[in-house]
Chains A and B, each alone.
Chain A
């Protein structure tokens, strides 16, 4: 459905936590100009898989990743790969909001600053402002940018984390249940944001909300017990799933 080659190709990916296998032979392509939703019951490995895409699993002491994952054809697990740069190119919004215990401004400015993305103070201020605007937070915080990021509400914190991620201008954004702490209005804002970001960034989003997956994504992957059960166009998955397990899950017949 896309005329570009995929942004990320993951083939035969396995992940272990110690002796426990959390991801079992998963192959997925993530397209440049579409949103990919990862769905599945709790504990099936969605977060684990997402974290292999920017090598955040490196920080988990007993995690072991096997398989081939390429960003623009480049093997991200090869020894030549610069992990720091990879994570700047593949940004992440975590399941639990985790703003730095610093000011709102600092939270957003931190990434651009360490990567030297702004040559002047005013340019940095511009980046902070556009990032907060795109994350739909600007109106709420523009008068108190020097307040602590941790003093915001849960939903505001999550949008702050999104602003922080897009401030670095990554190529791919991985979102791990970005709306799980949000009310319907804030959720709608984030979904709008995802629509707006689509095309500019390749986006992968984990969600427990089927309607959300249907609304925001063009492609959907259904995980179960560490395996990829079904992967295809979102409309296909939701109207005409090939697998019994997928049908049960999306119709809510799953425990």
Chain B
């Protein structure tokens, strides 16, 4: 039986030979190697991200804090001429300014620290804190109180790290008297740019970014989505649509500064829209974001299986019902991902916004989309260019705010995508 004629000349495969086994081992080794490489790549990119966030947080943390000095103010002797009944509501600010509060605070500083140091120890905005304290509790006006007030930038810098020799000496003497303390710099989160680093805030730029992003989203998302839907679902496939496709792909690759020049010429030059406004910034960034959204949406729409379209058409759905009931819901996660990628890119853009004048020094947060404003990355750029040492940590702090904004946007995108994801 065993010496029956062979079925073919080919011998049966022997899976146990050493050569075969070494081949199998080699295969497993290759697999392990590949897995390790992948793991290394993921670890490396994670480490980069952590390093970036960590170093920014370390350097920027100081930007969220301020150094304060305890200083006695004797309001009873300062003879502020202010009617306590006017210390209610809006009139209070005017009443206190008119009564010479700023001068009184300066006098108190001189009285406490001597004529030399007293003139330069406090931040320019220190008297505003005093004003708020009086508004909170008008009874202090008849007493002598000790207040913690923000110090001027050179002393603030020296208190947080190495500063000028002179300021270091001041800090050392204040520390020995246990007069210095550290607190949260609320002004940084609540106010706009300033020439004084202790008073400069990020809120103006953050609000500018939010308004600009809103304009961008409201324009780029519907227009990009409609364009993608039209191109995928309705447009005939011919040379013209091929040309449009190529143009859109090219548009997505155009350097952003060119969009800035276009925005400058078109929105400021031709339409005469206001300079530095979130409206113009949003329009310009919409031009830049739209191609990204169109491309991502088209790919997401293309990925919807044709059998689903057939199924819907087969029960008599009209083309628009097919799109809105079946194609869009299935394509939405991909569309949202593309939109967020586009928006994240727009959020980080600096160059095109410089072209349309958003680099101006603007000391008040914008109230609307036509007010002059700046945005976070431009604010980072502006502060990094400042000579004042105090701006170094503000720059890092602004970067932290920008990154947090970005992470929040991405988290929202992932949340939305998971919500709309269809399980097959």
Contacts and interface: CB of A to CB of B under 8 A. Distances in A.
Interface of A: 54, 56, 59, 61, 84-89, 91-92, 94, 96, 98-101, 110-111, 114-115, 148, 150, 161, 164-165, 167-168
A150 B313 contact: no
Contacts of A114: 315-317, 321, 325
B313 A56 contact: yes
8 contacts: A56-B314, A59-B306, A59-B313, A100-B326, A111-B316, A115-B316, A148-B424, A165-B314
Contacts of A99: 311
A102 B305 CA distance: 14
Contacts of B326: 100
A110 B313 CA distance: 11
B321 A101 contact: no
B266 interface: no
Given A87-B314, A88-B315, A94-B314, 9 more contacts: A59-B310, A59-B313, A96-B307, A110-B312, A148-B424, A150-B424, A164-B311, A165-B315, A167-B315
B241 to A, nearest CB: 12
Residue in B311, B313, B321 whose Cβ sees the most chain A Cβ within 10 Å:
B311
A88 B310 contact: no
Nearest to A148: B423
B116 to A, nearest CB: 77
B150 to A, nearest CB: 59
A84 B316 contact: yes
A148 to B, nearest CB: 6
Interface in B367-424: 422-424
A59 B314 CA distance: 11
A94 B310 CA distance: 9
A101 B307 contact: no
Contact of B315 (A101, A148, A164): A164
Contact of B316 (A59, A87, A96, A148): A87
B308 A98 contact: yes
A94 B424 CA distance: 19
Interface in B295-309: 305-309
B9 to A, nearest CB: 29
A88 B307 CA distance: 17
A165 B310 CA distance: 12
A84 B307 contact: no
B316 A98 contact: no
Given A84-B316, A87-B313, A94 B422 contact: no
B53 to A, nearest CB: 38
B330 interface: yes
Contacts of B312: 100, 110
B318 interface: yes
B310 A56 contact: yes
B237 interface: yes
Contacts of B318: 84
A91 B424 contact: no
A148 B422 CA distance: 10
A92 B325 contact: no
A19 B306 CA distance: 23
Given A61-B237, A114-B317, A115-B316, A101 B422 contact: yes
B423 A98 contact: no
A70 to B, nearest CB: 19
A161 B310 contact: no
Nearest to B306: A59
B308 A168 contact: no
A54 B316 CA distance: 10
B314 A91 contact: yes
A59 B424 contact: no
Contacts of A94: 307, 310-311, 314
> Across chains A and B, which 10 residue pairs bring their CB atoms closest together, nearest first?
A88-B316, A111-B315, A98-B307, A92-B314, A87-B316, A98-B311, A101-B422, A84-B318, A150-B424, A84-B316
B308 A100 contact: yes
B315 A110 contact: yes
Given A148-B423, A150-B424, A101 B330 contact: yes
Contacts of B305: 98
B311 to A, nearest CB: 4
A110 B423 contact: no
Given A59-B310, A114-B321, A101 B316 contact: no
B301 to A, nearest CB: 15
A86 B318 CA distance: 11
Contacts of A96: 307
A89 B314 CA distance: 10
Nearest to A110: B315
A88 B314 CA distance: 7
Contact of B309 (A59, A61, A87, A150): A59
Contact of B317 (A84, A89, A101): A84
Contacts of B424: 101, 148, 150
Contacts of A88: 315-316
